[in-house]
Structure 1
């Protein structure tokens, strides 16, 4: 059975038992994302990874496949997030209260959010839900500077300054970089796939998706996407992959090449999305793979 996400950004948990007491704000509908983030210290954030609590996130209006149900929980696959874990889409558990089984689907024409986050408004102009970058919703028209859209919660308005019409076009390298630069300074979030916080591969997945390219969700899968490129021929918007054991072990990180030896990436818990020069860093030693995912006409 297919269903639509009714939360601005819902966590996909490893198990129904994964959420801790201080994760309660993310189990509500709508989730209190900013409250959850503000209340988590470094240790609480790091354990999202070290204790394998969160797998990924799904956005408002995104479609999931419900594979099974257990009480208040649903085990789902996310078709829009390719993964070797499941051919049907990225798998994990989420609260059933954050889903609508009405069969709501995005359709054309559609608009999507182009800012890190933006508010949806009720048709009377009152603010409703703060949603994320890349949230995509069917559009039914415009009025007085707003897009009129259909959502799993009913008709809403989006400010035209916060969104754009959805187009199936592949962007250029410069477009991908411009999109990524918009998130400089945003704190890292393990499993994050929204304008409220990204992990390393979530950022790459999202900025490429915004420019017409579908990448796998995780870095190790992304390292097989696109075309192989040489380490001595890195071009802007190439994906740079880093492995343990000075590049000989398992891939654990991905960043976006900017040119001139620089990289944009979401580093790790406790840090924020940044630009750095590879030379003289641990990343210079760990660089193991370069992939070119931009179409040849977009280079």
Structure 2
């Protein structure tokens, strides 16, 4: 996965230089209460925890936030306006821009790096909920999200040196999945897609969320697939237009379920991951946490409009 990322990027290129960079609709979309999310360094825990329900809901209802990118993720800057950069994100496919998901990030949250530094033989992906990036002397530097990916400089059974926008730092090897950059993460099956995000139950929903500090519905689906070597679109609408269509009586764990208003006939508004036995794992809405529910007897049973499969079993060819 992310193989195409480097092909379209210039040299030097720009990468995310904070634990999580939020991508805003416009530079003026960020509010004073969002200071901890648009600073460098960021404190995503502090930002999210201090937002009221109404302030969190406004990120969606007032169309303020588009998506997020993780530490070290490459972006392409397409314009600069004052202290903000308009970017596209190659690793997040979207119908909004064929180059990648578009939006605005504070320029101070990005850093220019040499392309060759990001093209090492191996990448390290954080496989735990969070992992602390440390200095060589063990000082905690930054709390990183699940599925943050950084180039590997060296690794042993205890410590892995990674290349970051701020130089060489260390992560505990036990917190990482290290894989060949050229091949990407080995593709998992549907059960492994479910297992990847099952531990995030009760984590609060966060609009635009693409990190283990808070996911939205399609962000959770994206992360589950990313962890298993599949790159899917960022938004639920685009996710529903890809993959292999699945009949409702042939659902398997790891399939994506899509829901639309007007009992499935209106506009699409939600995506969840089929868990098996008539259940769904999903990040429902602002004010609620990630949960596993039985579909029968809920509004989701009536709103179910489509199912798609992106995964395939070992030895099978993708659809």
TM range (shorter): over 0.9
Name the residue aligned to 1:91.
Answer: 102
Structure 2 CA distance for partners of 1:113 and 1:298, relative to 1, 3 Å: farther
Instruction: Work out the number of aligned pairs and report it.
Output: 299
2:236 to 201, 210, 219: 219
1:146 equivalenced with 2:159 (yes/no)? yes
Q: Which runs of 5+ in 2 are unaligned?
A: 1-9
1:273 to 290, 307, 314: 290
Give the deviation of 1:101 after TM superposition: 1.5
Name the residue aligned to 2:213.
Answer: 196
Contact 1:106 1:136 in 2 (8 A): no
User: Which aligned pairs between 1:2-13 and structure 2 lie closer than 5 A?
Assistant: 2-13=13-24
Contact 2:192 2:254 in 1 (8 A): no
Secondary structure at 2:78's aligned position in 1? strand
Distance in 2 of aligned mates of 1:287 and 1:103: 46
1:119 to 132, 137, 154: 132
Secondary structure at 1:166's aligned position in 2? strand
Secondary structure at 2:113's aligned position in 1? coil
Deviations 1:80-119 (A, max 9, x none): 0000000010000000101112235353211110012111
2:74 to 54, 63, 70: 63
1:48 equivalenced with 2:59 (yes/no)? yes
Give the deviation of 1:140 after TM superposition: 1.5
Comparing 105-114 with 41-50, greater Cα deviation is found at 105-114
Give the deviation of 1:252 after TM superposition: 0.5
Distance in 2 of aligned mates of 1:143 and 1:239: 37
Distance in 1 of aligned mates of 2:87 and 2:308: 30
Deviations 1:42-94 (A, max 9, x none): 00110000000000000000000000001100000000000000001000000
Secondary structure at 2:21's aligned position in 1? strand
Structure 2 CA distance for partners of 1:298 and 1:253, relative to 1, 3 Å: farther
Q: Give me the TM-score of the superposition, normalised by structure 1.
A: 0.97
Distance in 1 of aligned mates of 2:129 and 2:171: 14
Name the residue aligned to 2:310.
Answer: 293
Contact 2:133 2:142 in 1 (8 A): yes
Contact 2:257 2:271 in 1 (8 A): yes
Q: Which ranges of 4 or more aligned residues in structure 1 deviate by more than 3 Å?
A: 296-299
Q: Which runs of 5+ in 1 are unaligned?
A: none
Contact 1:266 1:273 in 2 (8 A): yes
Distance in 2 of aligned mates of 1:287 and 1:120: 41
CA RMSD of aligned residues (A): 1.3
Distance in 2 of aligned mates of 1:225 and 1:107: 31
Distance in 2 of aligned mates of 1:159 and 1:212: 22
Q: Give me the TM-score of the superposition, normalised by structure 2.
A: 0.91
1:250 equivalenced with 2:261 (yes/no)? no
Distance in 2 of aligned mates of 1:144 and 1:109: 15
